[in-house]
Amino acid sequence: MASGKSRVVPPVTSLDLSGPLLLALLGGDESAVEGIVSRARSRGADTALVVRDLVMPALSEVGRMWARGEVSIAEEHLATALVARVLGRSSGSAAPAAAPAGRIVFACLAGEFHDLGIRFLADVARECGWDGESLGANVPREALVRFVSQRPPAALALSLSLAGHVPEAARTIAEIRAVAPETTVFVGGHAFREDPALVRLAGADAAFVDAVALRDWLLAKAKETRKGVPNGVVRRGLPETIPAALRRKVSRPR
Ligand code: B12
């Protein structure tokens, strides 16, 4: 810095912005939400911190209020859409790294509609230099297993908010292991925060409680990769099932 003084970055929590964020979300006040998020970012918070210290507490409170009948489903939808839009603008635009540290795929399984967390986590992964992609909510097991077997990522991250989806996660993980044994499988989400014992039942390699814990793992792995330790192949490409004529057309050099 020009002054020669080192800059002290207070933790986002000390700003106590999650209360104001809750009110701005429930009021549908987009410019206030924008202002709160940029205030946190100007204090040095990356997407992982914004999500852990601002978004998660505010949306947990929305969930509690909904359970008590204090906010309607419409107001909850408004809050969710608003925070997704504002965070998407401020973090989702990060360009993919030219030489990504690895590829991580995020998904919610069939019947699981809580995909907001993984949308943010894919942004966090990109900020860490990974090729992060979210397949979103309600992905059928067969489709996910085929997708992973054709283009195995270094890591697959499954998000579960509802504990009732753990048996489906266990079946999915067993099938993923058969087709992509090198892929590390993570689980996370509200279901595992409420009952960490479910991680073992799902059969995952590991679980992380929030975006900051995942960010730290991704950064550590990226560092190893820079030191020459390979971290899975970054494989993209067209689905194997598309017609040959179309494949030739789209892969022709322009
Ligand atoms: C928004 C919301 C919805 C939205 C989801 C919209 C969307 N596109 O995501 C909608 C309206 C669809 C919804 C529906 C339902 N919901 Co809801 N929902 C919520 C709410 C309010 C916020 C969730 C959220 O987005 N949080 C913010 C994100 C950032 O946090 P997160 O998802 O936990 O993700 C973070 C971490 O968990 C972690 N993480 C998440 N996944 C993963 C994966 C990996 C691999 C890793 C490493 C980390 C990780 O990182 C993320 C970022 O830090 C919660 C309240 C709460 N306490 O969470 C209830 C909540 C989860 N819902 C609940 C319920 C009951 C339901 C419904 C059954 C309601 C109903 N009767 O219809 C349905 C079920 C739908 C379904 N089949 O999936 C309950 C679950 C209770 C329980 N123990 O089962 C909660 C807790 C509300 C409550 N207090 O009762 N919901």
The tens digit of pLDDT for each residue in 38-49 reads 999 998 899 999
Comparing CA positions, the residue from 112, 134, 114 lying closest to residue 122 is 134
What separation in angstroms does the CA of 30 have from each of 38, 42, 43, 116?
Answer: 12, 18, 20, 18
Prediction pTM value:
0.90
**130 CB under 6 A from ligand 1?**
no
Structural domains of the chain, with CATH: 12-91 (1.10.1240.10), 103-226 (3.40.50.280)
Comparing CA positions, the residue from 203, 192, 196, 202 lying closest to residue 161 is 192
- Protein residue with its CA nearest to atom 81 in ligand 1: 162
How far apart are the C-alpha atoms of 35 and 228, rounded to whole Å? 41
3-class state of residue 158 by DSSP: strand
Report the atom number in ligand 1 closest to the C-alpha of 164.
84
**123 CB under 6 A from ligand 1?**
no
Which pLDDT score is estimated for 68? 96
Residue 8 CB coordination number (10 Å): 7
- 154-180 pLDDT, tens digit per residue, is 999 999 999 999 999 999 999 999 999
**216 CB under 6 A from ligand 1?**
no
How far apart are the C-alpha atoms of 118 and 132, rounded to whole Å? 10
Comparing CA positions, the residue from 184, 192, 253 lying closest to residue 221 is 184
**64 CB under 6 A from ligand 1?**
yes
Cα of 3 from ligand 1 centre, angstroms: 45
- 103-135 pLDDT, tens digit per residue, is 999 999 999 999 999 999 999 999 999 999 999
